[in-house]
């Protein structure tokens, strides 16, 4: 039953992250390298966010998918790697102040997955992580299934 819940949550997040958004920009250079184009030249989407912001949010969705698939496969170590990225990566510019609590909650829940000693604890933390992502999407007006 818990695996079923994780799959449904994962699919719902994937759909909500991709719903009516501009296509993702080509893969970004590693975070240790400077960005290829200055921020002033970034193309702004109709939603008011530049492509780098949207691409970064798609990176979040990919890492969450990896985490959920690992937990569905009972792979605690496999879930820890994307959880580490979600808890530690550099934030992207442009996150409105009112969404910062979701970002903090996402990072904290990801850290709980990363440091979990058993699958039960990791899955509970992953549900919290998923809830933080969904809360931010709701606050941003991103709706699934449209």
What percentage of the chain has pLDDT greater than the value 90?
Answer: 36
User: Which residues are 44's β-sheet partners?
Assistant: 50
pTM of the model: 0.63
Q: Give 5's pLDDT tier (boundaries 50, 70, 90).
A: low
Secondary structure tally for the chain: helices H, strands E: 5, 0
Give alpha helix (H) positions in 50-118: 51-72, 76-88, 100-115
143, pLDDT greater than 60: yes
d(CA 122, CA 133): 16
d(CA 139, CA 65): 21
Compute, in degrees rounded to 10, the torsion defined by CA atoms 133, 99, 41, 24: 10
For the segment 82-107, what is each residue's pLDDT rounded down to a tens digit? 999 999 988 777 777 888 888 889 99
Q: Is 42 helix (H, G, I), strand (E, B) or coil?
A: coil
Please choose, from the candidates 17, 10, 120, the residue with its C-alpha nearest in 3D space to the C-alpha of residue 66.
10
Report the pLDDT value the prediction gives residue 8, as an integer from 0 to 100: 54
For the segment 37-71, what is each residue's pLDDT rounded down to a tens digit? 444 434 444 356 778 888 888 888 899 999 999 99
Burial class (CB in 10 A: 0-12, 13-18, 19+), 18: middle
Please choose, from the candidates 25, 89, 27, the residue with its C-alpha nearest in 3D space to the C-alpha of residue 51.
25
Instruction: Compare 123 and 2 and report the one with higher pLDDT.
Output: 123
Is residue 103 within 8 Å of 91, Cβ to Cβ? yes
């Amino acid at each position: 039953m818990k695996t079923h819940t994780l799959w449904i949550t994962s699919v719902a997040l994937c759909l909500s992250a991709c719903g009516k958004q501009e296509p993702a920009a080509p893969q970004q250079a590693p975070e240790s390298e400077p960005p290829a184009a200055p921020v002033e030249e970034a193309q702004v989407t109709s939603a008011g966010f530049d492509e780098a912001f949207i691409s970064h949010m798609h990176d979040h969705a990919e890492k969450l998918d990896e985490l959920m698939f690992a937990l569905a496969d009972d792979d605690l170590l496999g879930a820890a790697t994307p959880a580490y990225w979600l808890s530690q990566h550099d934030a992207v510019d442009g996150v409105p102040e009112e969404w910062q609590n979701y970002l903090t909650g996402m990072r904290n829940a990801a850290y709980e997955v990363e440091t979990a000693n058993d699958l039960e604890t990791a899955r509970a933390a992953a549900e919290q992580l998923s809830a933080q992502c969904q809360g931010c999407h709701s606050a941003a007006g991103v709706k699934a299934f449209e």
